[in-house]
Structure 1
């Protein structure tokens, strides 16, 4: 290139594409941080679109690579509850049929654990199969039937499900306990339990544990159980239920997906 050609090139105005680049870089980075480094390119595109930013999928992929933005890495984790007991076990009513047509038709429940410097923190949760919303949860330093009963009480209090709801869990002694089964009957719920050693029977709640641990727990060091409890509560209430969009839910959050269902019923 000649000297005159070089200076002519330098004076040439930036294309619209190049002018947009710094702004889009900032918006993609902000969306990546806002979604806690958990969204891939497609979900990030939907997130930006919901904020009024129109950008192609290929460009998002290119900008993520350019900016060094990557999702948090997934890790495997172990099952928690103990199914070695002599308590009665409910039949597997759900039988891996996770397709429901409305909220509060079926919930999946389970217990997981989180490490802190003070010791283990146990978390019991219940997930609605329609929206994926975590409808009830409780935390304690002990893994007891009272823990799962507290999670159930909270779910029933906040969602008021109609009689006949199927509540699926594994065969853990906490869920098989007479007091817990009695509580289910009082609420008009049907107990359903996984086959022995088959984690796929309770896949929806296992999927949530994976999200919680890969998006929060594995990237934090909790000094106390109280610190862990506060951050987990914020993750569930603010991020997972209300902000974290899912492809299965038409790129809506669980709360927004439930709200859309309710509004459609009112309109009908």
Structure 2
């Protein structure tokens, strides 16, 4: 049996981004692995360590037995502590050690994906031991690897792939979290609509409608007389939604109209990643 058609787009997106990451880091000198990335607290080495670590977990490898230092100030909750374990255990690895492990992990994952015959709704072990479907696990890997590819591109001054297969997976995943941002976190008024107009390599127009019960839904139809509207480019949108920049840092890249308190609350709660 071959990979289920539902899973193929996520496999393709993961493969595209992981190849890009390999291409970015293979020629790096030792010092360049220490460059700071937009991912809070993480260097180039740390981002690659995270990518390797989570793909090893997808392979079923045991997690490292390791004690985290107490001075990691960017680690503030249990989810971050979980993710940091795979990173900190590799913090003193050399450039050849990093590229070799990345290459070996990619070879193993490609073999796993080629031989994957399970159904999308098969329950697998996800991060932090949570049971999730295989489809969600592969979607999250495609999303995670693309976002970290962009972290590396920013750190290394090598922009690109803003409209790659992983970008489209990321768009859909971030949009799925937008109703919660607007309706629950920002507490938009009931029976209101909020419009997001995103331009650039990935373009879309979406409306979040908040019903009388305060629940938000995502719609493709534009709204007349929205309570608030936002216009921004794709790169700013995903960096904001992934917690890479603040609304203040984005500055004029975001054009917001409507109730100032509402627009501020939405932007303040825009990040949907842990």
TM-score by length of 1: 0.21
Q: Which structure is larger by alpha-carbon Rg, 1 or 2?
A: 1
TM-score by length of 2: 0.20
